[in-house]
Amino acid sequence: MSFELPALPYDRHSLEPHLSATTLDAHYSGHHLACLKRLNARLENTGQTAGSLELLLWSEDEELAWLAAEAWNHTFYWHCLSPWGSATPDARLGADIDTTFGSLSALHDAIEAAALNHFGSGWLWLVRRSRGPLEIIITGDGQTALAADRTPLLGIDLWEHAWYLDYQNDRAAYLKAIRSLINWDFVTQNDLNPISIAPPAQ
């Protein structure tokens, strides 16, 4: 079994004018698909079985783990965006955001500040720690926020290919655009039904 490119949850024009169909096509059919092709080739070359992306995150093969993380991150990212998503989180998550960051607007500001302070590629995440608090973290390059002690609620791609065709070197403009696209319904569901990950049994 090999990994296939999952369907986008919306039409490629649906995120315009914030993200163009040209950007989505290059990002989805270009970068995401290329990552999956490399992942499948690596699996074939090493003789390993595909299993799930989540299990491959624990692989001792660093390239395999990296490719699995990038593939997982991209699929998660597509669902974090939506032209139809609710404008705000549900009451419970909204209250936690207010407690941690002050307001939803302040959370957006904190996300943008963290992303702009990060040099290079990577991913920005809003996560909930296993002990309860919300936190913004950044993972470098292709690393993922999915871990035993935290669950990702929101993920934002900080690789230049996510915005360069629309915003050139203006990461701040991309982040402003993302504000209008966050699928808070999906974010809320991730909070209500945390993604569970644990290392495979030895």
Binding-site residues, please?
A: 27, 74, 157, 161
Long-range contacts of 115-121 (CB under 8 A, 24+ apart): 115/156, 115/158, 115/171, 115/175, 116/171, 116/172, 116/175, 118/158, 121/158, 121/159, 121/160
**DSSP helix/strand/coil, 156:** strand
- Binding residues for Mn(2+), by number, are 27, 74, 157, 161
Residue in the structure block whose two tokens are 């500001």: 109
Helix runs in the chain, H state only: 21-24, 33-46, 53-56, 62-80, 91-101, 104-117, 164-167, 171-179, 184-192
Let me know: does 187 contact 82? Beta carbons within 8 Å. Answer: no
